Amino acid sequence: MIQHARTFVALLLVMLLTQPSQAADNLQLVEQQIKAGLLYNFLKYTQWPPDRAPKDGEAIKVCLFGGDPFEGRLQPMAGRTVNEHVIEIRVVSTIADIDNCALLFVRADQKSNWPELQKALAGKSVLTVSDFSGFTMAGGMIEFTRVSNRIGVAINTERITAANLQVEDRLLRLASAARPATSDR
Amino acid sequence: MTPIREKRWRRLKAGLALTTALCGICALGSPASAVVEVDPFTLSPEELFDATVITVSKTPESVRDAPAAIYVLSSEDIVRSGATSIPEALRLVPGVQVARVNSAGWAISVRGFNSVLANKLLVLIDGRVVYDPLYSGVYWDVQDTPLDDIERIEVIRGPGASLWGANAVNGVINIITKKASETAGWLINLTAGNEDRAQITARYGGTVGENLHWRVYGKYLDHATDETPFGTNAEDDWAAWRGGFRADWDPNTQGDTFTVQGDIYRSDSGQMRSVPELTPPYAIAQHENISVYGGNLLGRWTRELGDDSRFTIQSYVDLTTRDQLTLGTRRNTVDFDAQYDFPMWKQNKLTVGAEYRDSIDHLSFTPIITGVGTSYDEQLFSGFAQDKITLVPDQWFLTLGSKFEHNDFTGLEIQPNARLQWDDGDLQTVWTSVARAARTPTDLERNLTISTGVIPPGIIPLPVSVILQPSPAFSSEQLIAYEAGYRRQWTPSVQMDISTFYNDYDKLSTLSLMAPQVVGNPLHIVLPIATTNLTTAKTYGFEAVLNWRAADNIKFSAVYSLLDMQLDGPPSNAAIASEGAKGQSPRNQFNVRSQWDVSSDVALDTTIYYVDALPGYNVHAYWRLDARLGWRLTSKLEFDVVGQNLLSDSHREFGAITDANAVVIGRGIYGKLLWRP
């Protein structure tokens, strides 16, 4: 199974299942808040190729495909800036609308539409994120996972590279801090 | 129940004051229990990965943990069953008796006592009570929310865990629609077939700013006329339209949610009706138009206070007008609800709430129903408190609660409930419960006169007019319910749920014959009948559910329900009808369904139903097979073909063969195009 390394798929799973922590001073957040915060960090630590990055003064677009599953927790991100770009959040429901998205979040119930979305995304530099299980195995870039009472991510670095995106080591290192998962392909 | 007085406005104000007062409690509770609000966008990835997830429960308990006989129909289950209406979808649910009387009429009950006037059930749509206080039953012809908008239907068998509103004697059906954020964009549903000739639903959802989601919908349906058991036209074709909206606003991260929703509707259906006359032929079968229109508007505010506490207030108005040969009614209802859930000390989870409802009925008298006054005002004050106590963390829980309900007929009804629950990790749950419930009297029993029929002259040389007279002494029907259940996840793919019950009823409604009188013009005998409380009953049985995910793409589910009813009333020459209840609910029922994803684009779903005979109506046991072939043409377009009742040309489900309005249910085929442009 070690050979799978050669497929460039380093599927990294964060499993911060450290010892049961002292709940008292541990930070407690609603699941959607953690995911929203992580999405902001994905924007922060990802570099888009110069020709695809938003121009100076342009907004960076976060698109939610199929609706907003964040129960209002993501909306406060709109209007904030990341790397000097204002963040704009849009709910999109058709493939035609995903063109100018920097980050595309695919709502879990849109799993069946993913293969078609993926086709439409070919050749584009869009960071794809979802929380449906198996997303990275199906060619997605970042998948939220839930391990016990913590949120983790699985990252498909092959896809990120293929889309001409660069995710900073800080995020990847955090992911690799846990056990690297093997792909069963 | 009293005729309307001018105090009404004062009562409304009292209700408002009550909700305001309770809101004060919420404000007081807030600083004590609020968690520090953290801005997640200022946190580093390290901090976010290290944060633990706290659960803000939207529903008080997940189904697997609830110490009650609860079953949830998901929106997927509903679509894949091929059902085209809420009543038809309820056939899948354990412990529920569903019988179609004619195109727009159903008899539906939980754990027995089924009737077209079934009166021991609480039905809610998004928190709005939809049973009609005139007889405590549900007009299913106007409970026709588009199935595409329904998130899930929760059905609780047994007295409604003390939390729910009035009338939750044998069970609660809770219909919950999707949030507006779940229904963005267009949806067009075109259904056409031989029984459901047309069902057209159009829906559009959008957003305003970032936090306000909304949708509007319109629906039209046209159902074909059926045949009577004698092969004649039952003239029960049904056409209805409805429209509505829902808006959800989450203005901030404080956990506030505001919802406003409403519907307007009109339904026109028909049926044959036997109208009694004092002259030959003593009964005339007439076609009866049933015309209903109305609307409702509901507002709700929920605040999540963190720390697992939340506060909800809700209010609605509901106006409905029903016009038919036998009944003319215009009903206006106003309702206020408040509920507060909060943890206390370490082991207690409390829920307290209050409800005020004022419902005014303006009746137009008909040859069948008359009364003294035409306006009937009925008020309900209800409060409840419940405490879920953790006896041993993650293992033993005791829930104690009671509802205190004041109604205009019988005054205060106290309905307590105790539940004990044992959990073994996430894999098994055992629970047991004892509860008291009361079905309070209605205007139909207390205040109105109903002409039920005329017996033609025979041994008695004069026609006998049978009159159900007002029975001011009729009091609440009483139930003590004993329940137990066991739920287990055997393997990741096999799960089962068994619930058993023993219901001990007292003071059940009984129709008692009074002294006949001879009256003139034309000379006839009046046989008055009073509604009394002389019947007792014991019902028992169990429901079992087995779910098996055989493979990633195939799922089986089997549901079995057993019901035994023992009624004991006065000798049959002194009373009628109540014993008949036994023969109106099937003893055995089961359904087995499969959901098979043949490929990523094609699904094949089948459901087989068995429903036992109804000796009270001479209805035979029947099998029913429904099948659905679903085909996803593109990501925006789906096409379904559904066959219903595939096994037989026709069968009867309810009502005596001589009932003019009972029809035979035929085979149905329809095609459905679902388009999300």
Q: What angle do CA B303, B305, B306 make, to 5 degrees?
A: 135
Mutation choice for B interface testing from A22, A91, A107, A117 by most B CBs within 10 A: A91
Residue B575 identity = A
User: Considering the domain boundaries, does residue B1 fall inside one?
Assistant: no
User: Considering the domain boundaries, does residue B2 fall inside one?
Assistant: no
How does the average pLDDT of chain B come out, rounded? 87
User: Considering the domain boundaries, does residue A20 fall inside one?
Assistant: no
pLDDT at B404: 93
- Could you give the C-alpha distances from B394 to A111, B83, B204, B421, B497, in angstroms and in order? 34, 39, 44, 10, 20
Q: Among residues of chain B, what percentage have pLDDT more than 70?
A: 89
pLDDT at B425: 67
Do A36 and B40 lie within an 8 Å CB cutoff?
yes
pLDDT at B560: 98
Average pLDDT of span B228-244: 92
Question: Which CATH number do you get for residue B241?
Answer: 2.40.170.20
Q: Name which of A31, A72, A75 is nearest B257 in CA terms.
A: A72
Residue of A73, A151, A174 with shortest CB distance to B253: A73
- What domain range includes position A9? 2-15+30-181
Helix (H, G, I), strand (E, B) or coil at B282: coil
- Give, for B283, the enclosing helix (H) or strand (E): strand B283-306
Chain B residues close to A111, C-beta within 8 Å: none
Question: Which CATH number do you get for residue A72?
Answer: 3.40.50
Do B250 and A72 lie within an 8 Å CB cutoff?
yes
Closest chain B residue to A150, measured at CA: B52
- Residue B630 pLDDT level (bands cut at 50, 70, 90): very high
For the four alpha carbons of B55, B56, B58 and B60, in that order, the dihedral sign comes to positive
Helix (H, G, I), strand (E, B) or coil at B20: helix
Q: Which residues of B51-85 are buried (b: 16+ CB within 10 A; e: fewer)?
A: bbbbebeeebbeebebbbbbbbbebebbbbbbbbb
User: Considering the domain boundaries, does residue A82 fall inside one?
Assistant: yes
How many domains would you assign to chain B? 1
- Please say if the pLDDT value at position B93 is more than 90: yes
Write out pLDDT tens, residues A61-109.
999 998 888 877 888 888 888 888 889 888 888 888 888 899 999 998 8
Residue B441 identity = P
pLDDT at B217: 97
- Please say if the pLDDT value at position A50 is more than 80: yes
How many domains would you assign to chain A? 1
A5 vs B219, higher pLDDT: B219
- Please say if the pLDDT value at position B554 is more than 60: yes
User: Considering the domain boundaries, does residue A21 fall inside one?
Assistant: no
> Per DSSP, which regions of A66-156 are E strands?
81-82, 85-92, 103-106, 127-130, 142-147, 150-156
Average pLDDT of span B383-393: 90
Write out pLDDT tens, residues B441-470.
999 999 999 998 898 898 888 999 999 999
Is the CB of residue B308 less than 8 Å away from at least one CB of chain A? no
- Residue B193 pLDDT level (bands cut at 50, 70, 90): very high
- What domain range includes position B410? 8-675
pLDDT at B341: 87
Q: Name which of B462, B439, B467 is nearest B451 in CA terms.
A: B467
pLDDT at B209: 80
Q: Among residues of chain B, what percentage have pLDDT more than 90?
A: 60
* Dihedral-angle region of residue B195 (phi above 0 means left; psi in -120 to 50 means alpha; beta otherwise): alpha
Chain B residues close to A115, C-beta within 8 Å: 600
Residues B600 and B568: beta-carbon distance below 8 Å: no
Give the range among A123-132, B34-43, B251-260, B314-323 with minimum mean pLDDT. B34-43
Average pLDDT of span B658-671: 89
Termini Cα distance of chain B: 51
Q: What are phi and psi of B175, to 5 degrees?
A: -100, 125
User: Considering the domain boundaries, does residue B515 fall inside one?
Assistant: yes
- Please say if the pLDDT value at position B499 is more than 80: yes
User: Considering the domain boundaries, does residue B544 fall inside one?
Assistant: yes
pLDDT at A94: 84
User: Considering the domain boundaries, does residue B36 fall inside one?
Assistant: yes
ipTM above 0.85, yes or no: no
The alpha-carbon radius of gyration of chain A (Å, integer) is 16
User: Considering the domain boundaries, does residue B453 fall inside one?
Assistant: yes
Give the range among B50-54, B323-327, B578-582 with minimum mean pLDDT. B578-582
Do A28 and B632 lie within an 8 Å CB cutoff?
no
User: Considering the domain boundaries, does residue B51 fall inside one?
Assistant: yes
B657 vs B91, higher pLDDT: B91
Is the CB of residue B521 less than 8 Å away from at least one CB of chain A? no
Q: Cβ neighbours of residue B121 under 8 Å, at least 6 residues apart?
A: B108, B109, B110, B131, B137, B138, B167, B168, B169, B170, B171, B172, B173
Chain B residues close to A174, C-beta within 8 Å: 45-46, 49
Provide the greatest CA pair distance for chain A.
48
Q: B349 has which bridge partners?
A: B343, B388
